[in-house]
């Protein structure tokens, strides 16, 4: 998980902190509708989210619900020595059926553990298995996370776009058949 360090002015940080405090305080007694394109703001400020795509409501729910329903699975990122990457790959594939490598750079490998392979897997069992193999595979550090709200939004938007394209193609096919 490569993080980008962002530097903000004091005023920007102060406004953001005040916004969180005001929203948290006000949301105890009333509903607040916030419209934004920033998924980070949504994760920080919202207890329920609605995602709109092409002007239509695509989904509604808590952050946890949306991640569970629309997320593709867990992401596992492992940092090891470059010479041990193949061993780590084999280890991950033996633990998680259908695990897909998402990226690899300088001994850092990220995998997607799809939902279907998670049914008998708990976070505790993932951590236990990696801790057990940590020294054997020269694992420096690792992390497990759910899909980000940003990736969920992109997945929903793609599926909406795909559904619209299919509907247009079907409409065009019917129109051509009628000629």
In this predicted model, what pLDDT tens digit does every residue of 44-53 receive, in sequence order? 778 888 888 8
Q: What digits encode the pLDDT tens for the residues 109-161? A: 999 888 765 566 777 888 898 999 999 999 999 999 888 888 888 888 888 87
Nearest to 76 by CA among 157, 120, 139: 139
How many residues are recorded in the chain? Answer: 179
The listed range with the strongest mean pLDDT (13-17, 37-41, 133-137, 144-148) is 133-137
Give, in words, the CATH class of 72-146.
alpha beta
By DSSP bridging, strand 108-114 and strand 100-105 are antiparallel
Task: Say what the pLDDT of residue 158 is.
Answer: 85
Q: Which one is predicted more confidently, 61 or 151? A: 61
Q: Which of 85, 55, 75, 56 is nearest to 150 (CA)?
A: 75
pLDDT of the residue at 117: 53
Q: Given this model, what pLDDT does residue 133 score? A: 93
As annotated, the residues of the chain forming the CATH 3.30.70.260 domain(s) are 72-146
Q: Is the pTM of this model over 0.75?
A: no
Calculate the alpha carbon distances from 106 to 10, 66, 100, 101 in Å. 35, 33, 18, 14
Q: Give the pLDDT of residue 155.
A: 83
């Amino acid at each position: 998980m490569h993080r980008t360090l962002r530097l903000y002015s004091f005023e920007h940080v102060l406004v953001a902190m005040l916004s969180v405090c005001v929203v948290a305080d006000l949301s105890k007694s009333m509903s607040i509708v916030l419209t934004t394109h920033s998924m980070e703001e949504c994760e920080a400020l919202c207890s329920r989210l609605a995602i709109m795509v092409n002007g239509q409501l695509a989904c509604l729910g808590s952050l946890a619900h949306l991640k569970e329903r629309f997320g593709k699975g867990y992401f596992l990122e492992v940092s090891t020595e470059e010479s041990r990457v193949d061993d780590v790959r084999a280890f991950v594939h033996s633990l998680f059926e259908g695990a897909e490598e998402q990226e690899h750079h300088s001994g850092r490998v990220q995998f997607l553990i799809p939902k279907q392979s998670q049914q008998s897997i708990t976070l505790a069992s993932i951590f236990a298995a990696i801790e057990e193999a940590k020294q054997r595979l020269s694992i420096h550090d690792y992390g497990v996370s759910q899909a980000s709200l940003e990736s969920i939004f992109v997945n929903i938007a793609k599926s909406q776009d795909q559904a619209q394209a299919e509907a247009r193609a079907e409409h065009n096919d019917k129109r051509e058949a009628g000629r």
